[in-house]
Amino acid sequence: MHTSFDDLSLMLGEIALFRGLPLAVIAEVARASQVLSLPKGRVIYAAGDRPRGLYYVMSGHLKTVVSSPDGGEKVIEILSPRQVFGVAELFADAACVSTVETVTPVVVMAVGRDGLFRAMEQEPEVARRMLSAMAERQSSIERDIAADCFQSGSAKVVDYLARLAVEHGCEAGQVELELEIPKHVLAARLGFTPETLSRIFRELSDAGMIHVHGKQVTLMEAFSRQYLTRPGVRRLAAVTPRRAERPVGNWRDRAPAPGVTGMVAWG
C-alpha cells in the first residue's frame, strides 16, 4: 500500500530526530522518504554498499553485523523500535563497514541522503540532531566494548534482562518478559554460543532468579530485589514493539550483491 505524502509528514513529525522542525523542512524530508515492510532475513544494506540514507525502525528488530574474511560473523548491535540507524554512514563518504539484516518482520522508514542534505542546508538544527544521534551511538558502542572486556557471561545476561525489565516499565516484584529476537541472535549479540546462553539461563534458573519457557522469561522476585534497583540501565535489544499505526508502503527487491541475498531496493 502506498504511503501518502501527508502520512509521511505526520510520521516524521513524531520521530525525535525531526520533531518540531519547520513544516518546510519536514516536507523536504518527506519527499525523500518511503516506508518499507520487510520479512525476516532481508538485508537493508551490506558491507561495501554506498550509504543511501538513514532508517527509522517502526516495528520489528534487526541486527548489525561485521564479517571476517573467512566468513565469521559478529553481531555488534540489535536494533529495536524507535531507533535510528545509518546516520554515521551518511557523513563518512565511504562504503559501509557493517551489514544490517532483519531478524523479524520489520517496518522501517527510509529517508534518502539527498533529501536529508537539503534539509540540513535549510535548517542547521537537523545537522545538530544527527550529530547528537551519532554521539549517542558512539557512547553505546563504547559501553558495549567495556562490557565485553570486563563483564562475565552471567553478568552480561543479567544486565540484558534487567534492562529489558526497566524498558518494560517493571522495576519490582515478579516480571514477565518475552524475547522478541531468536535466542541464537541474542547469544551472538552477547558474544556467546547458543549453548553458553542456555547454560547461563539454566544456572540463573537453578539459583531461583529466573524461569524460562520458550520465549517467555520470568524474572523472579529475588532477581528484582538484587538487580532492578541498579542505575544506568540502557537499551540493548528487544521488547514487544508497538504496532505501526499508519499504512506502510511496498518494498521491492534489487539484484543482490555477491554472497548476499534479499537486499532492499531504494527509490
Model confidence pLDDT, tens digit, residues 139-190: 888 887 887 788 888 999 998 898 888 877 776 788 899 888 889 999 988 8
What nine digits make up the cell of 264?
A: 532492499
pLDDT at 93: 74
Q: 16 Cβ partners below 8 Å, 6+ apart?
A: 129
Task: Reduce the DSSP state of residue 178 to 3 states and report it.
Answer: strand
Q: Are 77 and 62 in contact (CB under 8 A)?
A: no
Tell me the domains of the chain and their CATH numbers: 5-146 (2.60.120.10), 152-227 (1.10.10.10)
* Cα gap 122→110, rounded to integer Å: 20
Q: Could you give the strand order of the β-sheet that contains 62-67, starting from the edge strand earlier in sequence?
A: 43-45, 99-102, 62-67, 73-79
Q: Looking at per-residue confidence, does 138 or 236 come out higher?
A: 138
- The secondary structure of residue 172, as a DSSP letter, is S
* Cα gap 81→75, rounded to integer Å: 18
Average pLDDT of the chain is 83
pLDDT band at residue 212 under the 50/70/90 scheme: very high
* Cα gap 132→138, rounded to integer Å: 10
Q: Looking at per-residue confidence, does 263 or 60 come out higher?
A: 60
* Cα gap 79→108, rounded to integer Å: 11
| Cα-based distances in Å from 188 to 23, 59, 158, 162, 192 | 42, 21, 16, 19, 6
* Cα gap 153→34, rounded to integer Å: 40
What nine digits make up the cell of 184?
A: 541464537
Task: Reduce the DSSP state of residue 192 to 3 states and report it.
Answer: coil
pLDDT band at residue 108 under the 50/70/90 scheme: very high
Q: 23 Cβ partners below 8 Å, 6+ apart?
A: 9
pLDDT at 265: 61
pLDDT at 253: 37
What nine digits make up the cell of 244?
A: 505501526
CA 204 to chain centre: 27
Q: pTM of the prediction?
A: 0.76
Pairing outcome for strands 106-112 and 73-79: unpaired
Amino acid, res. 74:
K
Task: Reduce the DSSP state of residue 75 to 3 states and report it.
Answer: strand
